[in-house]
A = this chain, B = another copy of it.
Amino acid sequence: MSFSPLIRQLIDAFRILPGVGQKTAQRMALQLLERDRSGGQRLAQALSQAMDGIGYCRSCRSLSEEEICHLCSDLRRDESLLCIVQGPMDVYAVEQTGYRGRYFVLKGHLSPLDGLGPETIGIPELLGRINQGAFREIILATNPTVEGEATAHYIAQILADQELLISRLAHGMPLGGELEMVDGGTLSHALAGRRPIQV
């Protein structure tokens, strides 16, 4: 290995990023060192501030540096709709469709074999949130995968005795796909065509 210790350390550190292998990490490290040191310093500071400063919104459980995130504290949003997603990236994807109701962010999906039960993914907090609100409809926007469908079905069951319309994103999304990878038009159609769920 012919890189100096500090360069090796930087290349190794870049490899924690999704989709970044050895060769890409080398290009990233050397390109910053050769062409954009101030950009590299800005990235270092942005990383440090984000890793330290960002927690979870007490209301929707999405990532936020405020106790209540800017979406939850926006009073102009529709209080009758709650959209449940599997992760913070999905909030961004749904927001792009023009949806302006409320959100709740689960910590992933149910997966009993991996020890991911209702408590782990935040179902108690979800029930607390629903009881605090005055929702008319709960939109289950978990991924259209086996686990996402199972999670949606589980939530629909535990909410069945409440006076709530429970809906699911319309199919039209590719089966086995991930919400955050779907283009905005497809997701808009899926959201517009959401249907009541049967339990």
Contact = CB atoms under 8 A, between A and B. Distances in A.
Interface of A: 2-7, 9-10, 12-14, 16-19, 24, 26-34, 36-37, 39-54, 63-66, 69-71, 87-89, 91-92, 95, 180
B50 A6 contact: yes
B32 A28 contact: no
Given A30-B88, A46-B9, A46-B13, A4 B51 contact: no
Nearest to A17: B28
A67 to B, nearest CB: 12
B44 A16 contact: no
A16 B34 contact: no
A6 B54 contact: yes
A36 B16 contact: yes
Given A13-B46, A42-B16, A91-B2, A51 B32 contact: yes
Given A33-B54, A42-B13, A63 B7 contact: yes
Contacts of A71: 2
A44 B39 CA distance: 12
A92 B88 CA distance: 39
Nearest to A65: B6
A23 to B, nearest CB: 9
A50 B26 contact: no
B53 A13 contact: no
